Chain A
């Protein structure tokens, strides 16, 4: 039981490049979330998926898109990366009131 996994762990992009952050959970949870963490700002919700086939915007969705591929997988895409998207990205899934977090992806955009 791996819990929530994220790939890659680290990534460096140039401005304007695109990439997809992958997230998968093996706990059969319906709800999944993408957050970004920036120093002094805590975690902020980018997008969430309440169930397979549905997605919705969170607090800071601009510049991102998501895909809920199936119940296990929830990916986050940056179509044209900007330096302001330099951050640590966390995926989470939820059972009841508890969210389970992945180890994070550290992204740097130069």
Chain B
């Protein structure tokens, strides 16, 4: 079984400040990890993903995340927040079966609402 915990349901930053959204996961197999963003009254959009290879992954809109196996973490960062970053962010882990068969089912964290103040 796999699970995702996002620390902090609400995060508030000033425009130009560092954004740090925390995600810890539990998985019995090497995980595929994702961050999605949801703007008000819209569906989810993929920000970035980690599958294999480089543990620091870069995504859209200046976001990046680092996979740390020893800490079972996949925190999302952005050096300088912009007003347009205000949204809800979801961390997710995908099922992956031994032998490579995957149905691509995602388990999501509870979500973190990011507020950006002028």
A-side residues, CB < 8 A to B, are 4, 31, 33, 35, 40-45, 48, 50, 56, 58-59, 90, 92, 94, 97-99, 101-104
Contact = CB atoms under 8 A, between A and B. Distances in A.
Contacts of B42: 103-104
A33 B45 contact: no
Contacts of B43: 4, 90, 101-104
Given A97-B32, A97-B94, 9 more contacts: A33-B104, A35-B108, A42-B108, A45-B107, A48-B103, A92-B44, A99-B104, A99-B106, A101-B45
Interface of B: 4, 9, 32, 34, 36, 41-46, 49, 51, 90, 94, 103-111
Max chain A C-beta neighbours (<10 A), residue from B32, B36, B43: B43
A21 to B, nearest CB: 14
Given A42-B108, A43-B108, A31 B46 contact: no
A33 B36 CA distance: 16
